[in-house]
Amino acid sequence: GSDDIIAGNVSKYTVLPAGYCGQPKKGHLIFDACFESGNLGRVDYITEFEYDLFIRPDTCNPRFRVWFNFTVENVKESQ
């Protein structure tokens, strides 16, 4: 669930639709937060245009998530 502890950042994580096999195509997003101040802990694919993003808690106060910092690559124009 959303209350699970998210310990680390995603690192060049390619999100693929369920059941898809093979190399990522344009539009299969690649998320990365493996850099200083990155805080994206998990990404769940919903549809081509919808993803659930789970942001790691702030270091000094785990009750809050007041900022986010990550990159997204491999986006197609209409996405």
How many angstroms separate the CA atoms of 6 and 19, rounded? Answer: 25
Q: What is the pTM of this model?
A: 0.80
Per-residue pLDDT of the chain (79 residues; tens, 9 = 90+): 555 556 688 899 999 999 999 999 999 999 999 988 888 999 999 998 999 999 888 777 778 777 889 999 999 998 8
Domain with 53 in it = 1-78
Paired tokens of 57 = 């808690």
Number of domains in the chain: 1
Hey, what long-range contacts does 59-66 have (CB within 8 A, 24 or more apart)? 65/39
Please provide the distance, in angstroms rounded to a whole number, between the alpha carbons at the two ends of the chain.
27
Of the candidates 28, 26, 6, which has an alpha carbon nearest to the alpha carbon of residue 15?
Answer: 28
